[in-house]
Structure formats: structure tokens, C-alpha cells
Amino acid sequence: MNQHLSSIDVFIISFFLLLTIFIGLRAAKNVHSTNDFAIGGKSYGTFIILATLSASYIGGGYTFGVSEKVFSYGIIYIVALLGFSLQQFIVAIFIAPQIGKFKDAISVGDIMYQLYGKHARTITAIASFLVCSGIIGAQINAMGYVFNLFLEIPTPYGIIIGTTIVVTYAAIGGMRSVIATDILQFIILIVMIPLTFILSIIKIFKADFSQITSQLEPFHLSFQHDMGSFFFISIFLSLLLGEALVPPYVQRLLIGKTIKQTIRGTLISAFISVPFFITVGLLGVVAYFYAPDLNPNLALPHVINIILPIGLKGLAISAMISVIMSSADSYLNASSVALVHDLYKPLFNQNLTSKNELRWMKMTTFIVGIAATIFALSIESVLDILFYSYNFWAPIILVPFVLGIIKNYQLSAKQFINLTFLTILFMLIWNGWIETHINFEGLVAGVGFNLVLYLMMVKYSNKKEITCPSR
């Protein structure tokens, strides 16, 4: 399926990659502290918040992965993906207004420390690393497809090239470099993905309508799934809960100059996600129309390959690379902050100076990039990587984080540890034995179990004096 690119397209892609490196390294000049590296000095307004937040979640999983699933199973997966959009609206309305209570925080671990003590910070740091590594893996997995399909570079080498670029500017410039490149990447992808869809629809409707309907399977345009409503609900809830308030998104809530700007940026980003996800999903249907025997993972790249003319194809491929880089750099930054600021410093070197902490964060970014590359090579489906990664976050951290912020509920340090241990045990049992029999995502069951157990502990604590978490 590979088609040789024109010299113009190759030039555009090369220019984009070089421009990304230039912008990232230029922004790195303003990084002088861990605050700059982690949250960019809390100096950003509405547009930048919505741009960097949107660029962070519009990654390989929510583009390649969704077009792959719609190609294989139909538009029901578009509806399921709107669970993520709903989550964004909930965060904008209920979480963002409360984030000002943690004005000195630079990570999820800092917030959990204020809520539940030092052990909660350690647990959060480990969970942050695991979920971030998995999601980075999904992005660089997709990166390999892009370089292989369009540039005819073997997938492993494509992964190495793309990851090297991202890791370089993310390690040197931290959040400032990430945000600077996110703005460029957001502008490109928010223009080129819809444009690709519009041009593909124009080309399709030039064909005979009977040809269109005969080429597609009935399930492609159906809101039903062979696995049943129960399965669909579990997927919808997984996308609603799975990436809710993961470390990079919480960091975006901490970078704003004011709470009002943070709320507006998050809310606009939520609105943007709805038409964008619908567009990406429908491109999976377009891909099936043209190549029903295609590898589903290549659905979106294939449409770009056959629809767009010279010049626009180079811009669209740059948008594909933007999709991947804009998520990968965010998760790289968040994972390095978690490992150094929330794990290494509190446990092993509490007297670590800001300068040395910054140096450790930069070095850790490289290490996480290598770990994520190994993870990416072990799972084929981009969206499957995301679902797998979610198990390390939502069932353990989401409920205590949200209720601690909104309701000011507080458990003792011991209660939080017990809650975490019992939830992990429940997840192991569910994923190991139960899920195969009832076909319901363990992530959703785990969040439900954690919620019920958390509320029971709160009710029990109200009858007894709560021991303050050990700070």
C-alpha cells in the first residue's frame, strides 16, 4: 500500500519536524526551575490552555485507534468515545473551579499528599508512571505506523526517530517546550483532519449511492454492537473514566494564570472534542469503503494516502505526526515529574535542591521514553494499549482524587493504603477470572468497587475520630 511521496511532501514533513525541534528547544531557554519544567510557571491564558489540553488528548489512540475500531466494528465506537468528551465537561464544571485550593501543587502527587498524606503521594507516583508509560507506548506505536506507511521507514526505526525528537525537547524544556510545540501541533491537526474528511466525503459522493451502501457492512452505520448493550456501556464508561484527570490533564489545570481562564480553556476544549472525534471515527468508515481488506490499524493513514493531493498530503502527514507527538511529550513530562518530585525526592533525597531536581527530571524523561518504547512493541492495537494502561490509574486514584477535591472527604493514611490494596486485589480477581465470563471492562468495575469502599470508609470514619494523614 505504500506510495512514494513527492519531494514537496517530503520537504513539508521535514520542515515540520525541524520546526518542532526548533520551537521546543527555543522554549527551553526559559526553564530555570522545577516549577517551569512541570507547569510552565502558571503563566498561560485560555487559548493556550485549550490548545495544549486538546493536543494532549488528541493522540494516536484517539485518532488511529478510533478509526481502527470504527473500521472494524462501526460508528458505535464514535458514540463510546464521546464518553471522554463528557468527562472533559465534568472536569471543567466541577473540578477546575476547585483546583485553586492547591495553588502550590505541580503534580497529582502534590494534591494527593495534601489530601491523604505521604503514602498516597508514593502510590500516586507509581500509578502515574504506569499509566503514562502505557499511553506514551500507544503514541509511539502509532508513530511507527506513520513513518512506515508514508516514508517507507521500517516501523522500529520510525519509532526511534520520532521518539528521539519528542524526548529531546521534552527532556530539555519540560512543560514550556511541550506547550510551545503543542500550539503548533494543535493548529495543524485541527485544520488538516477535518479538511481530509471533507475532501474524502466530496470524493465519495461523486460515486453512485448504491455503490456506497453495497460497499459498507450494515454494522458500519449502526448504533448496535454484536457484543450487546452491556459491552457498549462498559466501553463508554471506560472512556469516560479511563483518562479522567490523568497527570498531564491535571497539569493543564495548574498552568493557568487564573481559575476562570482554566475553566474556559477546559470547557472549550471539551466542545472541540465532540466534532473532532466524530470526524476521526467517520474516516474509519471512509477507509473501509475504499479498502475493506486493509489492516484496520492503517485506516486513517490510508485515507490520507489516497485522498489528498501533493502538498496537502505533506501537511496531513505532519498533522498525523502532530497527533502523536502532542500526546507523547505531555505524558513524558508528567511521568518524569511524578517519578522525581513525588517518588524519588520524598523517599530517597528530601534535601534535593531545585537545580538537582530539575536535572533528575530531565534525565528521567529519557528513561521513560525507553521504557515506553519497549511497552509499545508488545501490543498491536493502539486503542487496546490505552485500555490496558487505564487499569493502572482510574480504579486506584480517580475516586479519592475527585471526592477529596469536591467533597473534602478525607481518609487516614492507613485507610487510603487499605483502600488501594483491596482495589488492586479486586482488579486482579476481576481481570483474571470474572471479565472473561461477563464481558464487562475491569476498569469500570474497579472504579465502582473503589467508590463503594471509599464511601463506606468515610461513613465509618464519621463515627470515629479520623487520624490525620502523616505528612
**DSSP per residue, 347-393:** HH-TT--HHHHHHHHHHHHHHHHHHHHHHHTT-S-HHHHHHHHHTTT
What Rg, from alpha-carbon coordinates, does the chain have?
22
Q: Cell 511507527 appears where?
A: 144
120 or 153, higher pLDDT = 120
What's the pLDDT score for residue 208?
A: 58
Most confidently predicted of 207-211, 290-294, 326-330: 326-330
Could you give the CA distance from residue 433 to residue 59 in angstroms, rounded to a whole number? 31
Q: How confident is the model at residue 306 (pLDDT cuts 50, 70, 90)?
A: confident
Range with the poorest average pLDDT among 43-57, 200-214, 234-248: 200-214
Q: Label residue 217 by pLDDT band (50, 70, 90).
A: low
* Mean pLDDT, range 207-224, rounded to an integer: 61
Residue 255: DSSP 8-state: S
For the residues 143-156, what does the mean pLDDT come to? 82
Name beta bridge partners: 256.
44
pLDDT at 249 over 90: yes
Q: What is the pLDDT of residue 375?
A: 67
CA-based nearest residue to 443, from 386, 381, 400: 386
Nearest CA-CA partner of 400 in 417, 380, 378, 381? 417
Cβ contact 294:154 at 8 Å: no
Does pLDDT of 466 surpass 60? no
- The 10s digit of each residue's pLDDT in 103-147 is 889 999 999 999 999 999 999 999 998 888 878 877 777 787 788
At 32, list the grid cell. Answer: 530555570
Query: Which string of b and e fits 198-222 if b means at least 16 CB within 10 Å?
Result: ebbeeebeeeeeeeeeeeeeeebee
Around 326, how many Cα atoms within 13 Å sit in the side-chain half-sphere?
33
Q: Which DSSP letter does residue 470 get?
A: P
Residues above pLDDT 90, as percent of the chain: 47
In residues, how long is the chain? 471
The pLDDT value given to residue 465: 44
**For the whole model, what pTM was predicted?**
0.87
Say which range, 165-174, 259-268, 432-441, has the weakest mean pLDDT: 432-441
What fold characterizes domain 7-390?
Sodium/glucose cotransporter (1.20.1730)
Q: What is the pLDDT of residue 160?
A: 82
Q: Are 400 and 416 in contact (CB under 8 A)?
A: yes
Residue matched to cell numbers 460497499: 215
338 to each of 243, 246, 247, 344, 345, how far by Cα in Å?
16, 11, 8, 9, 10
Phi-psi category of 256—alpha, beta or left, where left has phi over 0 and alpha has psi -120 to 50?
Answer: beta
Q: What is the pLDDT of residue 105?
A: 94
Question: Confidence band (pLDDT; 50, 70, 90) for 357?
Answer: very high
Contact 406, 462 (CB under 8 A): no
- Mean pLDDT to the nearest integer, 144-151: 81
The pLDDT of 363-385, averaged and rounded, is 72
Phi, psi of 242 (to 5 degrees): -55, -50
Q: Is the pLDDT of residue 284 over 70?
A: yes
Could you give the residue ranges of the DSSP H alpha helices within 216-342? Answer: 229-241, 247-254, 259-290, 299-307, 312-337
127, 397 Cβ separation under 8 angstroms: yes
| Confidence at residue 228, expressed as pLDDT on a 0 to 100 scale | 60
d(CA 415, CA 460) in angstroms, rounded, equals: 11
Average pLDDT of the segment spanning 219-229? 61
Mean pLDDT, residues 445-457 taken together: 94
Average pLDDT over residues 62-68: 81
Rounded Cα distance, 108 and 128, in Å: 8
Query: Grid coordinates 470515629 are at which residue?
Result: 464
Counts for the chain of helices (H) and strands (E), in that order: 21, 0
pLDDT above 60: residue 265 = yes
Determine the pLDDT at residue 252. 94
**Alpha-carbon dihedral angle through residues 65, 86, 393, 430, given to the nearest 10 degrees:** -80
Task: Give the pLDDT confidence score for residue 235 in this predicted structure.
Answer: 81
pLDDT for res 136: 83
Axis-axis angle for helices 46-57, 312-337 (nearest 10): 90
Taking each helix axis as running N to C, give the angle between helix 118-151 and helix 382-390, from 0 to 180 degrees, rounded to the nearest 10.
180
**What is the spatial distance between Cα 59 and Cα 136, in angstroms, rounded to a whole number?**
9
What is the average pLDDT score of the chain? 86
